[in-house]
Amino acid sequence: MDWHHMKSAPKDGSRILVTVRPSEQGAAEVDVAYWARADQFGMEGWRAADSYPGHMIGYAEPELKCWMPLPRANAGQDAATIDEMPAPWEGEDVEELHGSGI
């Protein structure tokens, strides 16, 4: 699976993998997130999938570099053969994903 520009990420509430940009709080990391509409718990935007009412973890658009679909579960496979979480995108900027479009 390849990383994609955030502008093409689904905003239908489905869970996806995202690369969170590095910051003074830590290195780049991969998280599971979804697009949430505004509700009594927060504004419209990207939320970490492990958020819950009263403890929303939201991401501002610039915090997220890119996305990819969640890997499919493989029923009946050994736990040792199931793929691990992908590494975060390490490129300089999102424009490097799949070429610059020039």
Closest CA to 17 of 4, 61, 102, 56: 4
CB 28 within 8 A of CB 89: yes
Asked if the structure places residue 44 within a domain, the reply is yes
For position 40, what pLDDT does the model report? 77
Asked if the structure places residue 76 within a domain, the reply is no
Phi and psi, residue 46, nearest 5°: -80, 130
pLDDT in tens, the chain (102 residues): 689 999 999 999 999 999 999 988 889 999 999 999 987 767 899 999 988 777 888 999 999 999 999 987 765 565 555 557 778 877 766 555 555 444
Q: Which domain holds residue 22?
A: 4-71
Asked if the structure places residue 86 within a domain, the reply is no
For position 77, what pLDDT does the model report? 62
Asked if the structure places residue 50 within a domain, the reply is yes
Asked if the structure places residue 14 within a domain, the reply is yes
CB 17 within 8 A of CB 30: yes
Q: Which H or E run includes 29?
A: strand 29-36
Question: For 93, which DSSP code?
Answer: S
Report the domain count for the chain.
1
Asked if the structure places residue 99 within a domain, the reply is no
Asked if the structure places residue 13 within a domain, the reply is yes
Asked if the structure places residue 78 within a domain, the reply is no
